[in-house]
């Protein structure tokens, strides 16, 4: 049970300026540059982080390469790696509330969600891969007589990881834990506007016994730090969660450098489809509201397109708007707030422009669509429902990444499938129906990496997360994620 007094005490704790974490210690940027860290809670600067340069990235990559080549981690016994990662999970769990509050001050996620989805999730992720790593075996191939074919799974080398600001701890752990479990070294680039909790994770990893140089964190603008990491000839794999535009640039940088493998999770415009035979429409409305408005819609799998069958459309939208209007938007460090802050002022302004554009294209604003609580200095937006949205409208095709829901009606199952698949994205989807046959048909027909049936959101570490179409490639989570961080090496032995 979270305690408001403890949260308030942590809220007021000063946060010292932070440098990069390279080779086991914090260091200032080589050119001395820093970035102000603004809290979306009140719009005020509360600390600074180092603003990285190409030289800083090269220093971090060199440390990671040396650590990998000398075997201090890559050649460590699986039992040793397991021990360190389990200790790290324990330290994260012990410090979960402080990490969650620090992250909320940085990115605005409501504390009830941040505590579970950020700190506790990260601890669980490190524990999951710690337990998995010593169960990864090589193979003996069925070969010709007098020949032994062995398939070894070897760590790849230096992993460059670039993670976004919406769930830095959770998504950071999805990259770091399997990469480290398989014996790789890592250079992590957090979002410049949400770096603090991941810098602390690097510090805790060192405390847990991770050797110096195995995990390095370089903060700063993506156009500098991210580009340098992607262009580095010494980075073997690049893993990224973020926008499609940035993902395309990373692929270009790979081609221009050493053809490093790139695994990209690029967001979505996920359809949440409600049929007239759904068993509990009131539950569907409540869960659908949470599926788009939690974390102010700043969730890659958010159900940002709502497809409702024609004959229940009006009643369902009325119920949904009622749920949206009942949600309490406010200070994300207040336990009574159900929705926190939009991450930044530019992000909020972009959301408002999407609403205005949608109205100009013929959509109807049913609720929300405005900035609220402006007197706090923070960045807050009322949950927004837009109806009469055509499948071709910009708000139905473009990822808003905010608390804005686009509602479209459909006639029948075939129409729902057509509309659901009409975007470039394919990350997640939802289906509400009491017809088991229809549920299976929709699972097969809707092109998405994840599909929820009679629920929306939520899935543990046992299942993979990845997209289809322009939502990216590769998978985070589950045992499937381990394959990104190993090379298969064949030994062909004449007996």
Decide if 383 contacts 339 (C-beta within 8 A). yes
Residue at token pair 């050119």: 31
- Residue 161 has what pLDDT? 98
Strand partners, 309: 410
CA distance 155 to 153: 7
- Residue 459 has what pLDDT? 85
Decide if 226 contacts 45 (C-beta within 8 A). no
Strand partners, 327: none
> For the chain, which domains are there?
4-266 (3.40.605.10), 271-460 (3.40.309.10)
DSSP readout, 296-356?
A: GG--TT---EEEEEGGGHHHHHHHHHHHHHHS-B--TTSTT-SB---S-HHHHHHHHHHHH
CA distance 426 to 269: 7
- Residue 460 has what pLDDT? 92
Sheet of strand 215-217, all strands in order from the earlier edge strand to the far edge: 25-27, 20-22, 215-217, 185-189, 158-162, 237-241, 261-265
- Residue 145 has what pLDDT? 87
Q: 3-class DSSP state for residue 19? A: coil
pTM over 0.85: yes
- Residue 349 has what pLDDT? 98
- Residue 1 has what pLDDT? 84
Cβ-Cβ contacts under 8 Å for 104 (sequence gap 6 or more): 41, 110, 111, 114, 332, 333, 340
CA distance 177 to 198: 13
Quote the tokens at residue 312.
Answer: 């229940």
- Residue 153 has what pLDDT? 97
Question: Can you give the pLDDT of all 495 residues of the chain as single tens digits?
Answer: 899 999 999 999 999 999 999 999 999 999 999 999 999 999 999 999 999 999 999 999 999 999 999 999 999 999 999 999 999 999 999 999 999 999 999 999 999 999 999 999 999 999 999 999 999 999 999 998 899 999 999 999 999 999 999 999 999 999 999 999 999 999 999 999 999 999 999 999 999 999 999 999 999 999 999 999 999 999 999 999 999 999 999 999 999 999 999 999 998 999 999 999 999 999 999 999 999 999 999 999 999 999 999 999 999 999 999 999 999 999 999 999 999 999 999 999 999 999 999 999 999 999 999 999 999 999 999 999 999 999 999 999 999 999 999 999 999 999 999 999 999 999 999 999 999 999 999 999 999 999 999 999 988 999 999 999 999 999 999 999 999 999 999 999 999
Quote the tokens at residue 455.
Answer: 């629920």
**CA gyration radius for the chain?**
23
Decide if 185 contacts 24 (C-beta within 8 A). no
Q: Which residues are catalytic?
A: 265
- Residue 294 has what pLDDT? 97
CA distance 482 to 308: 38
Identify which of 448, 421, 427 has the alpha carbon closest to the alpha carbon of residue 244: 427
Burial of 77 (0-12, 13-18, 19+ CB in 10 A): exposed
Q: What is the pLDDT of residues 129-151, one digit of tens each?
A: 999 999 999 999 999 889 999 99
Alpha-carbon distance values, 124 to 94, 235, 279, 462, 476 (Å): 12, 27, 33, 11, 14
Cβ neighbours around 25 below 10 Å, total: 11
Decide if 346 contacts 391 (C-beta within 8 A). no
């Amino acid at each position: 049970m979270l305690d408001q007094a403890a949260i308030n005490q942590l809220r007021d704790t000063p946060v010292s300026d932070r440098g990069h974490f390279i080779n086991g210690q914090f260091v200032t940027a080589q050119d001395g540059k820093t970035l102000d860290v603004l809290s979306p809670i009140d719009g005020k600067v509360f600390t600074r982080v180092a603003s990285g340069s190409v030289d800083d990235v090269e220093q971090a990559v060199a440390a990671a390469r040396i650590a990998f080549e000398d075997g201090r981690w890559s050649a460590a016994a699986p039992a040793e790696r397991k021990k360190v990662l389990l200790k790290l999970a324990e330290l994260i769990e012990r410090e979960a509330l402080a990490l969650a509050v620090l992250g909320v001050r940085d990115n605005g996620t409501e504390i009830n969600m941040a505590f579970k989805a950020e700190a506790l999730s990260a601890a669980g992720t490190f524990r999951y891969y710690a337990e998995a790593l010593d169960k990864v075996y090589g193979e003996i191939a069925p070969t010709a007589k007098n020949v032994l074919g062995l398939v070894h799974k070897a760590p790849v080398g230096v992993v460059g990881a670039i993670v976004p600001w919406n769930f830095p701890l959770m998504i950071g752990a999805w990259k770091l834990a399997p990469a480290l479990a398989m014996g790789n070294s890592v250079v992590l680039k957090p979002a410049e506007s949400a770096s603090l909790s991941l810098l602390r994770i690097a510090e805790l990893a060192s405390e847990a016994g991770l050797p110096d140089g195995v995990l390095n964190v370089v903060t700063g603008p993506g156009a500098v730090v991210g580009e340098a990491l992607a262009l580095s000839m010494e980075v073997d794999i690049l893993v990224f969660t973020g926008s499609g535009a940035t993902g395309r640039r990373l692929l270009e940088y790979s081609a221009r450098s050493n053809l490093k493998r790139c695994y990209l999770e690029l967001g979505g415009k996920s359809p949440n489809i409600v049929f007239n035979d759904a068993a509990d429409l009131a539950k569907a409305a409540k869960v659908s509201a949470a599926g788009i408005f939690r974390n102010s819609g700043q969730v890659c799998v958010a159900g940002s397109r709502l497809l409702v069958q024609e004959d229940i459309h009006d009643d369902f939208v009325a119920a949904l708007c009622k749920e949206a209007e009942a949600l309490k938007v406010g200070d994300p460090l207040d336990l009574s707030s159900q929705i926190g802050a939009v991450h930044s002022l530019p992000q909020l302004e972009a959301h408002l422009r999407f609403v205005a554009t949608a109205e100009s294209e013929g959509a109807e604003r049913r609720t929300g669509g405005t900035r609220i609580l402006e007197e706090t200095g923070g960045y807050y937006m009322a949950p927004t429902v837009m109806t009469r949205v055509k499948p071709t409208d910009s708000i139905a095709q473009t990822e808003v990444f905010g608390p804005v829901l686009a509602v479209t009606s459909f006639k029948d199952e075939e129409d729902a499938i057509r509309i659901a698949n009409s975007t470039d994205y394919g990350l997640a989807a939802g289906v509400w129906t009491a017809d088991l046959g229809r549920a299976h048909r929709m699972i097969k027909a809707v092109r998405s990496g994840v599909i929820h049936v009679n629920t929306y959101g939520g899935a543990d570490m046992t299942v993979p997360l990845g997209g289809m179409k322009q939502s990216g490639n590769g998978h985070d989570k589950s045992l499937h994620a381990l394959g990104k961080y190993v090379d298969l090496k064949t030994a062909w032995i004449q007996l």
